[in-house]
């Protein structure tokens, strides 16, 4: 119901109550003749009991429902209407001449109870309405309860003791009568309370029906009080109408209080629970059920008895190169891509299939009820084709590929979490193998466990200083002299022996351990080079590889500068090697390289020719050297295309005024070909394997040698 309609209804009820009051006054004499005292004594107790029952209901709602929403208003409302209900009950019972304990209250005392009750209720309603909203401790409940009961007993005791001395309240038309003045006081209190409540409603709760219902109840109390003011005696029709109007007013108060203190808090609580459930079980980017929901769904499916030939298939999908897309296009575009991928998968679903977001760039696709393995395989093939269509992101179309890992219940797993784990293992294996999808095998799990163990060993190895450096010379191909050297890391594992970089660097990169390891390599290489310089050997530059994670660090330049300061090595004797893939984000790469060059450190691009550098950007990058990848050098004598690539790279480098180093030089024929292409430097087993610092010093520094006049090494 709309607020405007509810306001109109309230105004209409108020006008109807006032019209009823006017009609009763106009036909007062006639109405008094129409009903007898027997009718009065029948209806009056019923109306009184109704008032008492509603008061007790208000007490109960304020006292025992939704205790976590307990406020000071509720704490005051509960004892107020407990007292009001008890006094109404005593008034009606005593008026009906029913014995209370060992005495019977006279009609005059009973009328006093009614007046005191109305004065008390009016005062407390003003206090409650003006009290600011604050949380109350549930421990105050008992205090409030016993205060209300004690106040009721105090009123009854006072009236009983001084009852014979109390003045008569029953004569209306005598202006100096106490009952007349009390009625006006009650009316004033009720009108004040209505004005105060209306102001609070208009300021704080303009759309809340509960406060409007309470205002309606107070307004009807005012009309009830007008009836009491017009009453000549208790058996008057006005007195009966006043009590009936009181019952209706209390009913509206009850409805308002129930809405404000029970329904609205309950709805807010349910809404909060619904929001919490959404956060707990749904992904906020895609709107799809999340991993927790998948676990529940799997447990539910596996609990249901499956037929012997039925399987539950779980696919984990991982978006290939999502980080590259996210970094280059921005997080907003990345989130949008996740959303449209989820939307496409959701539209792809059939009955018995569900799609879930696993967080990040991973999704899960659950297939149940398939009896035919071939049909299931066809469904998976259709899913692969689903990504042949490009995605529209900011008006540009991008082709997105996914890797899939597949696990089947009960063939590959016996529990839901195990099925998720195995499918996740399979998808990582698919990415490593560079294929669209992989079915889980036990061998994958063994590899994953080995990878995890290797990561733990890496952490321990860093702490126990199990790493060492080896050095490989770089030789000027025209003069045969040593020009520089490259520092390479090795891991002397306590159980596995010497571990090569290709076995542990990918794990270090993925786990983030490459950052502390890379800083250690850089520091040790600079220390060693400075140590050789202090020993009096000819100063030569030393080259150190940077990982992707290191290169993306904002503080990289500060780290390099700090290490150079610590080791006292001049920047011109340090060269940092990056790969082409690190320059994918051209703007960020240019800024990082420019800052490195600014401190005097040289930069080379390692494994050149295997990445995707744009020649347009290459000419603008602040670099000093290109290193031709060993895969081209190894086959220059047997593959004309590789020979052409090496020749082209060398020629291009000369025109760009860059130095060229050929990696993987292993024989005399390769050396002669590279010399013919005017490559500046060579590096490979033809000159030397990577060797420890002591061996390098003994072989190449103590007595400088010329490789071109040697028999080969």
Q: How far apart are CA 224 and CA 243, in angstroms?
A: 7
Nearest CA among 478, 74, 512 for reference residue 256: 74
Helices (H), 96-177: 107-130, 140-162
Residue 223 has pLDDT above 50, yes or no: yes
DSSP per residue over 362-422, as a string?
Answer: EEEEEEEEE--HHHHHHHHHHHHHGGGS-EEETTEEE---EEEEEEEETTT-SSHHHHHHH
Other beta carbons within 10 Å of 200 = 15
Give CA angle at 63 (57, 69), nearest 5°.
120
pLDDT for the residue 240: 82
Q: Select the more confidently predicted residue: 596 or 102.
A: 596
3-state secondary structure (DSSP) of residue 554: coil
**Mean pLDDT in residue range 708-713:** 54
**Mean pLDDT in residue range 85-112:** 67
Q: How far apart are CA 523 and CA 255, in angstroms?
A: 76
Give the H or E element holding residue 324: helix 322-329
Distinct helix (H) and strand (E) counts, the chain: 26, 17
Q: How far apart are CA 200 and CA 195, in angstroms?
A: 9
Give the architecture-level CATH label for domain 3-275: Up-down Bundle (1.20)
Q: How far apart are CA 575 and CA 627, in angstroms?
A: 12
* CATH 3.20.20.450 intervals, the chain: 458-701
Q: How far apart are CA 711 and CA 713, in angstroms?
A: 7
Other beta carbons within 10 Å of 612 = 8
Beta bridge partners of 18: none
Q: Which residues contact 352 (CB under 8 A, 6 or more apart)?
A: 367, 368, 369, 370
Give CA angle at 449 (366, 432), nearest 5°.
65
The torsion angle over the Cα atoms of residues 653, 654, 657 and 658, rounded to 10 degrees, is 40
Q: How far apart are CA 361 and CA 321, in angstroms?
A: 10
Indicate the DSSP class of residue 537. P
Most confident of 4-18, 207-221, 673-687: 673-687
Give the architecture-level CATH label for domain 458-701: Alpha-Beta Barrel (3.20)
* Contact of 642 with 636, CB cutoff 8 Å: yes
How sure is the predictor about 499, in pLDDT bands with cuts at 50, 70 and 90?
confident
Residue 170 has pLDDT above 80, yes or no: no
Q: Select the more confidently predicted residue: 500 or 199.
A: 500
Give CA angle at 33 (29, 34), nearest 5°.
115
Residue 444 has pLDDT above 90, yes or no: no
CATH number of 291-440: 3.30.1490.20, 2.40.50.1020, 3.40.50.300, 3.30.70.270? 3.30.70.270
Q: How far apart are CA 297 and CA 314, in angstroms?
A: 11
How sure is the predictor about 655, in pLDDT bands with cuts at 50, 70 and 90?
confident
Residue 39 has pLDDT above 90, yes or no: no
pLDDT for the residue 25: 82
pLDDT for the residue 100: 45
* Lowest mean per-residue pLDDT among 419-423, 470-474, 651-655, 706-710: 706-710
pLDDT in tens, 55-82: 888 777 776 765 555 666 667 777 888 8
pLDDT for the residue 446: 66
**Mean pLDDT in residue range 485-499:** 89
What average pLDDT does the structure give for the chain?
A: 80
pLDDT for the residue 693: 92
3-state helix, strand, coil in the chain (%, to 5): 60, 15, 25
Q: How far apart are CA 36 and CA 383, in angstroms?
A: 87
**Mean pLDDT in residue range 425-445:** 78
pLDDT for the residue 683: 92
For 490, what's the count of Cα atoms within 13 Å in the CB-facing half-sphere?
16
Q: How far apart are CA 184 and CA 637, in angstroms?
A: 117
Q: Select the more confidently predicted residue: 491 or 431.
A: 491
How sure is the predictor about 426, in pLDDT bands with cuts at 50, 70 and 90?
confident
* Contact of 166 with 112, CB cutoff 8 Å: yes
* Lowest mean per-residue pLDDT among 93-102, 239-248, 367-376, 553-562: 93-102
Indicate the DSSP class of residue 697. I
* Contact of 239 with 172, CB cutoff 8 Å: no
Q: Select the more confidently predicted residue: 24 or 138.
A: 24
* CATH 3.30.70.270 intervals, the chain: 291-440
How sure is the predictor about 127, in pLDDT bands with cuts at 50, 70 and 90?
confident
pLDDT for the residue 207: 45
pLDDT for the residue 619: 72
3-state secondary structure (DSSP) of residue 135: strand
* Lowest mean per-residue pLDDT among 32-36, 56-60, 475-479, 543-547: 32-36
**Mean pLDDT in residue range 306-323:** 80
* CATH 1.20.1070 intervals, the chain: 3-275
**Mean pLDDT in residue range 229-236:** 75
How sure is the predictor about 99, in pLDDT bands with cuts at 50, 70 and 90?
very low
Q: How far apart are CA 592 and CA 571, in angstroms?
A: 16
pLDDT for the residue 544: 94
Q: How far apart are CA 275 and CA 271, in angstroms?
A: 6
How sure is the predictor about 543, in pLDDT bands with cuts at 50, 70 and 90?
very high
Nearest CA among 105, 104, 85 for reference residue 149: 85
pLDDT for the residue 150: 82
Q: Mutual orientation of helices 514-534 and 442-464 as an angle, nearest 10°?
A: 40
Nearest CA among 41, 114, 42 for reference residue 84: 114
Tell me, rounded to whole angstroms, the distance of Cα 419 from its chain centroid: 26
Tell me, rounded to whole angstroms, the distance of Cα 493 from its chain centroid: 41
* Lowest mean per-residue pLDDT among 210-214, 375-379, 475-479, 661-665: 210-214
**Mean pLDDT in residue range 260-268:** 66
How sure is the predictor about 101, in pLDDT bands with cuts at 50, 70 and 90?
very low
3-state secondary structure (DSSP) of residue 81: helix
Sort residue 58 into left (φ over 0), alpha (ψ -120 to 50) or beta. Answer: alpha
Q: Select the more confidently predicted residue: 587 or 3.
A: 587
Q: Select the more confidently predicted residue: 446 or 467.
A: 467
Residue 613 has pLDDT above 80, yes or no: no
């Amino acid at each position: 119901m709309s607020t405007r309609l509810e306001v109109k209804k309230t105004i209409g009820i108020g006008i109807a109550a006032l019209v009823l009051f006017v009609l009763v006054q106009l036909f007062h004499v006639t109405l008094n003749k129409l009903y007898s005292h027997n009718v009065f004594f029948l209806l009056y107790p019923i109306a009184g009991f109704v008032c008492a029952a509603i008061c007790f209901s208000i007490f109960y709602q304020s006292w025992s429902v939704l205790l976590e929403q307990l406020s000071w208003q509720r704490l005051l409302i509960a004892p107020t209407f407990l007292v009001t209900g008890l006094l109404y009950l005593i008034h009606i019972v005593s008026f009906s001449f029913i014995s209370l304990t060992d005495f019977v209250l006279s009609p005059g005392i009973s009328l006093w109870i009614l007046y005191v009750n109305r004065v008390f209720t009016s005062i407390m309603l003003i206090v409650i309405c003006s009290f600011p909203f604050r949380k109350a401790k549930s421990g105050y409940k008992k205090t409030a309860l016993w205060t209300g009961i004690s106040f009721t007993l105090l009123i009854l005791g006072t009236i009983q003791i001084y009852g014979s001395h109390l003045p008569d309240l029953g004569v209306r038309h005598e202006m100096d009568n106490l009952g007349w003045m009390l009625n006006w006081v009650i009316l004033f209190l009720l009108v004040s309370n209505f004005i105060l409540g209306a102001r609070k409603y208009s300021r704080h709760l303009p759309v809340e029906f509960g406060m409007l219902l309470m205002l309606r109840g107070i307004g009807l109390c005012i009309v009830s009080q007008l009836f009491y003011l017009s009453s000549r005696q208790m058996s008057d029709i006005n007195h009966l109408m006043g009590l009936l109007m009181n019952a209706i007013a209390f009913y509206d108060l009850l409805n308002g209080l129930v809405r404000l203190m029970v329904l609205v808090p309950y709805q807010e609580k349910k809404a909060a629970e619904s929001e919490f459930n959404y956060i707990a079980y749904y992904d906020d980017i895609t709107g799809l059920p999340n991993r927790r929901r998948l676990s529940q769904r799997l447990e539910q499916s596996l609990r249901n008895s499956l037929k012997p030939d039925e399987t539950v298939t779980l696919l984990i999908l991982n978006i290939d190169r999502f980080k590259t897309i996210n970094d280059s296009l921005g997080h907003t575009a990345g989130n949008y891509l996740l959303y449209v991928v989820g939307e496409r998968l959701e539209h792809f679903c059939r009955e018995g299939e569900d799609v879930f977001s696993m967080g990040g760039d991973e999704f899960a696709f659950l297939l149940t009820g398939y009896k035919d393995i071939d049909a299931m395989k066809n469904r998976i093939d259709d899913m692969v084709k689903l990504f042949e269509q490009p995605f529209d992101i900011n008006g540009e179309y991008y082709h997105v590929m996914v890797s899939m890992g597949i696990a089947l219940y009960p063939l590959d797993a016996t529990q839901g979490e195990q099925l998720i784990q195995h499918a996740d293992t399979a998808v990582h294996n698919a990415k490593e193998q560079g294929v669209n999808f992989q079915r889980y095998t036990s061998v994958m799990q063994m590899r994953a466990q080995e990878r995890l163990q290797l990561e733990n060993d890496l952490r321990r190895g860093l702490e126990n200083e199990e790493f060492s450096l080896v050095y490989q010379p770089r030789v000027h191909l025209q003069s045969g002299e040593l020009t520089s050297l490259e520092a390479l890391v090795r891991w002397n594992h306590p159980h596995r022996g010497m571990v090569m970089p290709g076995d542990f660097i990918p794990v270090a990169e993925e786990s983030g351990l490459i950052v502390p390891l890379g800083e250690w390599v850089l520091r040790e290489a600079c220390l060693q080079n400075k140590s050789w310089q202090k020993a009096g050997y000819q100063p030569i530059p030393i080259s150190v590889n940077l990982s992707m994670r290191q290169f993306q660090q904002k503080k990289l330049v500060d780290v390099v500068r700090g290490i150079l300061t610590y080791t006292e090595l001049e920047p011109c004797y340090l060269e940092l090697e990056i790969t082409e893939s690190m320059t994918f984000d051209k703007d960020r790469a240019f800024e990082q390289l420019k800052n490195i060059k600014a401190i005097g450190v040289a930069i080379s691009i390692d494994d050149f020719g295997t990445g995707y550098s744009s020649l347009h950007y290459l000419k603008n990058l602040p670099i000093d050297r290109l290193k031709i990848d060993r895969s081209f050098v190894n086959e220059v004598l047997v593959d004309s295309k590789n020979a052409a690539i090496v020749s082209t790279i060398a020629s291009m480098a000369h025109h760009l005024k860059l130095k060229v180093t050929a990696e993987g030089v292993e024989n005399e024929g390769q050396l002669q070909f590279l010399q013919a292409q005017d490559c500046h430097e060579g590096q490979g087993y033809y000159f030397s394997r990577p060797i420890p610092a002591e061996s390098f010093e003994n072989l190449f520094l103590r007595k400088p040698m010329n490789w071109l006049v040697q028999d080969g090494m």
